[in-house]
Chains A and B, each alone.
Chain A
């Protein structure tokens, strides 16, 4: 080449090679220690997890935060309250609340309206709040729940239940009529009505101890999260550097950055003598949760040993490895997720305003096929009722459609359809012209829903030949279902999980009329218990009247639920079993098809894997790792 000298080209090529060498040298991947499985818990090490985003609903502020993964972190690692869980699987009592800061179960009055607790001494807040947790700190957390600007997203569990709590106060005010703190180690709750699952509500993170001297600086929802003070075994790394001299001197704790990650380290003030190893073994030295926007990369790093835990459905290639390669036999854990995937049917949208049609759908639906498309048996057990057995043990005995053994039963479905007014010629097929034509089936457009929706459509195609599938993204799907006037007839979009493992914490929002908040906001998509006034104001008065004219009263579980909630604790579940039976047989708003499992993938560096049934995540507090790593700040 005359213009460019050969040596110039050689020099350029050398630069490229050097760059690659420079990049490759120095800094190797930090693989974990050699794998071992099972065995006694090992003390030390750091659990390293990556996730695409935290997804907080309220900035990790415990008063309002409404995300299960946050609840796991609070309850296991960072915060203590009157009640907690043992952070183990459901078969080990993981869904039953146990005393935490409370010395033992409360003293309950004969009328079940008064709960008295005694608090342990020696439970300390972490740095920089070097003092003992008292009853005033529990009261303060309730005062925050009671404050409108702090947006306690599940405040309704307390407001209207505890005397004097209304969730609409202008400012944080610890003068709550129904909560007494006679001294630092005693607290008493007065209720407006008996509430059999009150202990479950006291185990929720919003009720955990919060120090007023720090939290008083944060009067808007979500602001307290980056300054969260520990009262449990672990704290944000860097908590000791938080300057709480005044509100102006406080800067977010360095071990937490919502955009980058979170590192938890041991709280030096935590005294295991005030706790129980049945609840918190606290084997690890730290937990690192780092943000990684590349989902495939998360699982590659898990395979490489650069991280120890990854939650969620593995990418297809990785899942195939887990399912077929013996080397990865124990990497994927499928645990009961306290969640039901279901088909929702709108009671006011033809032809689903006829209970025989809804029952026919329950009989025809191919649950096995949809589960297979979803991922197979590891995804969970076939559902026969609305609540998972881990929430309501009696669910396994509720099966009003035994003719459907899982793969759908068209004959039985057609027999049921013949009783419907939409089957004009009684041939077992919906053929009422307008009502049976172009019935919208709303699905999701993200994998694996398209495949699942096809199986669903095929299984219902015989009795409902007029079904028309439309698939949208998840957010649009939920938003559409919430629009009452749209009267979406049938949909595979939604799933539902518990708030807490008492049936009220599962059923309330999804079936109570209170779950129909407005014309554009509802989690009771089927509109069970809808009232005439709301129907008229939302523009579906005609459909409401038509329903009543054809069927009688709109099915409702409001009264039954109030009855069940007021039962003594040991009678709550049987009462809810009756309620769920009514839902499945009489109201029939759903076709529940799977009680879903939670998937967690772990590297063999996790030497002891324990599942936390309450939070539906790995139990960081009771699991163990053998990587011997000290926690690093990933924030």
Chain B
């Protein structure tokens, strides 16, 4: 297992380097890109050649592209003037990227974790109950809920939620991020409640269907019949035998879903004015802030790749049949 983990970590580094190379290529080698075009965007509305050249020097764009790529990658792994990892400086914000990324990742983490808790608490019980009462009225309504949840886009749900719960009824306070350390629990919680719900609904619906399907399949297994025939209570049969087997695939999916959210719940963050990684990604792309885009891409890639590794390891512990060499 240790050898497997080390091999996967090395693979992670390789993936990050490849992603950096691809992102560089998009910016500098494809038509419409190039150092002049990028530098011009930061040289004001009258980009005189001397200004563009100065901008290129300050952004490090005056060097050959391969040297820029090498310099960026070296700084990333060994640190730069702003610390380790060396994420450089945002040319739009004029600030070092490392503290920005850290702060925004923590905000997105709060959004993602809260939504994850919510979708697990909503989705799995609904799915389990549906599986226990297949084709009942509850089951049918549950699957309609799942269908709606999966179908309705986040930006529509977010707008509806804001209109109904904030603008019209003032049941909830509104958009924005209120740090728990600065403002206390109540503002933090009340401002996150609607974003959590909006973000979790899609996943809750998916998890309801997935847990229902998994449990139904497990319920038909021979060992479940054996457990009942041994005289175990139905509750014990379901919880100790059925749920454990049916939840294992959910663990895998949960890890990847959470990682995907951590890489940026872009729409939710924009709708609810939450300063997370997704919001930073949009702003960086809009302002063509090359290094910010590179950094956000790398952070997202790292999270997803690392999460894949964690999920694989956890799966090995959950399922004794799985072994890694």
Q: Which residues of A are in contact with B by a Cβ distance under 8 Å?
A: 1-4, 12, 19-20, 22-29, 53, 56-59, 61, 64, 66, 148-149, 151, 153-154, 156, 167-168, 220-223, 225, 258-260, 291-294, 296-297, 300-301, 304, 306, 475-476, 479, 482, 509, 514-515, 517-518, 520-521, 523
Contact check, B174 vs A301: say whether CB atoms are below 8 A apart: yes
Contact check, A306 vs B49: say whether CB atoms are below 8 A apart: no
- Please give, as numbers and ranges, the residues of chain B lying within 8 Å of A167 by CB-CB distance: 50
B167-182: contact bitstring with A at CB < 8 Å (1 yes, 0 no)?
Answer: 1001111111000000
- The contact sample of 27 A-B pairs, CB cut-off 8 A, is A1-B129, A1-B133, A3-B132, A12-B125, A19-B193, A20-B193, A22-B189, A23-B189, A23-B190, A24-B170, A24-B171, A58-B44, A59-B94, A66-B44, A151-B58, A153-B43, A153-B45, A221-B55, A259-B93, A291-B273, A292-B176, A293-B270, A293-B273, A297-B175, A482-B40, A517-B49, A521-B47
In the complex, the chain B residue whose C-beta lies closest to that of A497 is B45
Q: Which of A57, A154, A225, A306 contacts B42 (CB 8 A)?
A: A57
Contact check, B190 vs A27: say whether CB atoms are below 8 A apart: yes
Cβ-closest 6 pairs across A and B: A153-B44, A59-B94, A23-B190, A222-B94, A66-B44, A509-B46
CA distance in complex: A25, B171 (Å):
8
CA distance in complex: A115, B50 (Å):
28
In the complex, the chain A residue whose C-beta lies closest to that of B163 is A300
- Please give, as numbers and ranges, the residues of chain A lying within 8 Å of B45 by CB-CB distance: 66, 153, 509, 523
Contact check, A153 vs B93: say whether CB atoms are below 8 A apart: no
Other than A24-B190, A58-B44, A297-B174, give 4 A-B pairs with Cβ distance below 8 A.
A149-B54, A220-B58, A258-B94, A259-B100
B29-48: contact bitstring with A at CB < 8 Å (1 yes, 0 no)?
Answer: 00010001100111111111
B55-71: contact bitstring with A at CB < 8 Å (1 yes, 0 no)?
Answer: 10010000000000000
CA distance in complex: A482, B36 (Å):
12
- Please give, as numbers and ranges, the residues of chain A lying within 8 Å of B58 by CB-CB distance: 149, 151, 220-221
Q: Which residues of B are in contact with A by a Cβ distance under 8 Å?
A: 32, 36-37, 40-52, 54-55, 58, 92-95, 100, 125, 129, 132-133, 159, 162, 166-167, 170-176, 186-187, 189-190, 193, 234-235, 238, 269-273, 275, 279, 283, 288
Q: How far is the CB of A4 from chain B (nearest CB, A)?
A: 7
Contact check, A521 vs B273: say whether CB atoms are below 8 A apart: no
Contact check, A517 vs B273: say whether CB atoms are below 8 A apart: no
CA distance in complex: A23, B171 (Å):
8
CA distance in complex: A523, B46 (Å):
6
CA distance in complex: A2, B129 (Å):
11
Residues A27 and B187 in contact in the complex (CB < 8 Å), given A259-B100, A297-B162: yes
Q: Which of B50, B93, B273 contacts A297 (CB 8 A)?
A: B273
Contact check, B132 vs A520: say whether CB atoms are below 8 A apart: no
Contact check, A520 vs B37: say whether CB atoms are below 8 A apart: yes
- Please give, as numbers and ranges, the residues of chain B lying within 8 Å of A521 by CB-CB distance: 36, 40, 43, 47, 49, 52
- Please give, as numbers and ranges, the residues of chain A lying within 8 Å of B234 by CB-CB distance: 2-3
In the complex, the chain A residue whose C-beta lies closest to that of B100 is A259
Q: How far is the CB of A59 from chain B (nearest CB, A)?
A: 3
Contact check, B36 vs A27: say whether CB atoms are below 8 A apart: no
Q: Which of B49, B100, B283 contacts A518 (CB 8 A)?
A: B49
Contact check, B167 vs A20: say whether CB atoms are below 8 A apart: no
In the complex, the chain B residue whose C-beta lies closest to that of A5 is B235
CA distance in complex: A292, B95 (Å):
20
Contact check, B46 vs A258: say whether CB atoms are below 8 A apart: no
Contact check, A57 vs B44: say whether CB atoms are below 8 A apart: yes
Residues A156 and B171 in contact in the complex (CB < 8 Å), given A27-B187, A293-B269, A479-B37: no
Contact check, A225 vs B273: say whether CB atoms are below 8 A apart: no
- Please give, as numbers and ranges, the residues of chain B lying within 8 Å of A301 by CB-CB distance: 174
Contact check, A517 vs B48: say whether CB atoms are below 8 A apart: yes
Pick the most buried of B93, B94, B189, B273: most chain A CB atoms within 10 A of its CB. B94
CA distance in complex: A306, B170 (Å):
12
CA distance in complex: A167, B271 (Å):
43
- Please give, as numbers and ranges, the residues of chain B lying within 8 Å of A53 by CB-CB distance: 283
CA distance in complex: A515, B47 (Å):
9
Contact check, B189 vs A294: say whether CB atoms are below 8 A apart: no
Pick the most buried of B47, B133, B271, B275: most chain A CB atoms within 10 A of its CB. B47
Q: Which of A2, A27, A518 contacts B173 (CB 8 A)?
A: A27
Contact check, A292 vs B288: say whether CB atoms are below 8 A apart: no
Contact check, A20 vs B272: say whether CB atoms are below 8 A apart: no
Contact check, B171 vs A260: say whether CB atoms are below 8 A apart: no
Q: How far is the CB of B253 from chain A (nearest CB, A)?
A: 23
- Please give, as numbers and ranges, the residues of chain B lying within 8 Å of A149 by CB-CB distance: 54, 58
Contact check, B288 vs A475: say whether CB atoms are below 8 A apart: yes
Q: How far is the CB of B173 from chain A (nearest CB, A)?
A: 5
In the complex, the chain A residue whose C-beta lies closest to that of B282 is A293
CA distance in complex: A64, B55 (Å):
12
Contact check, A304 vs B167: say whether CB atoms are below 8 A apart: yes
- Please give, as numbers and ranges, the residues of chain A lying within 8 Å of B159 by CB-CB distance: 296
- Please give, as numbers and ranges, the residues of chain B lying within 8 Å of A148 by CB-CB distance: 50, 54
- Please give, as numbers and ranges, the residues of chain A lying within 8 Å of B95 by CB-CB distance: 258
CA distance in complex: A514, B93 (Å):
29
Contact check, B46 vs A153: say whether CB atoms are below 8 A apart: yes
- Please give, as numbers and ranges, the residues of chain B lying within 8 Å of A294 by CB-CB distance: 175, 270-273
Contact check, A479 vs B32: say whether CB atoms are below 8 A apart: yes
Q: How far is the CB of B281 from chain A (nearest CB, A)?
A: 12
Q: Which of B37, B46, B54 contacts A154 (CB 8 A)?
A: B46
CA distance in complex: A303, B179 (Å):
26
CA distance in complex: A353, B11 (Å):
58
Pick the most buried of B41, B54, B167, B234: most chain A CB atoms within 10 A of its CB. B54
Q: How far is the CB of A635 from chain B (nearest CB, A)?
A: 12
Q: How far is the CB of A315 from chain B (nearest CB, A)?
A: 11
CA distance in complex: A1, B186 (Å):
35
Pick the most buried of A291, A476, A517: most chain B CB atoms within 10 A of its CB. A517
- Please give, as numbers and ranges, the residues of chain B lying within 8 Å of A258 by CB-CB distance: 93-95
- Please give, as numbers and ranges, the residues of chain A lying within 8 Å of B235 by CB-CB distance: 3
Contact check, A26 vs B186: say whether CB atoms are below 8 A apart: yes
Q: How far is the CB of B101 from chain A (nearest CB, A)?
A: 12
CA distance in complex: A221, B132 (Å):
66
CA distance in complex: A53, B273 (Å):
11
- Please give, as numbers and ranges, the residues of chain A lying within 8 Å of B186 by CB-CB distance: 22-23, 25-27
- Please give, as numbers and ranges, the residues of chain B lying within 8 Å of A2 by CB-CB distance: 234
Q: Which of A20, A29, A509 contacts B174 (CB 8 A)?
A: A29
CA distance in complex: A304, B288 (Å):
35
- Please give, as numbers and ranges, the residues of chain B lying within 8 Å of A19 by CB-CB distance: 193
CA distance in complex: A153, B166 (Å):
43
CA distance in complex: A520, B52 (Å):
11
Contact check, B55 vs A151: say whether CB atoms are below 8 A apart: yes
- Please give, as numbers and ranges, the residues of chain A lying within 8 Å of B193 by CB-CB distance: 19-20, 23
Q: How far is the CB of B264 from chain A (nearest CB, A)?
A: 13
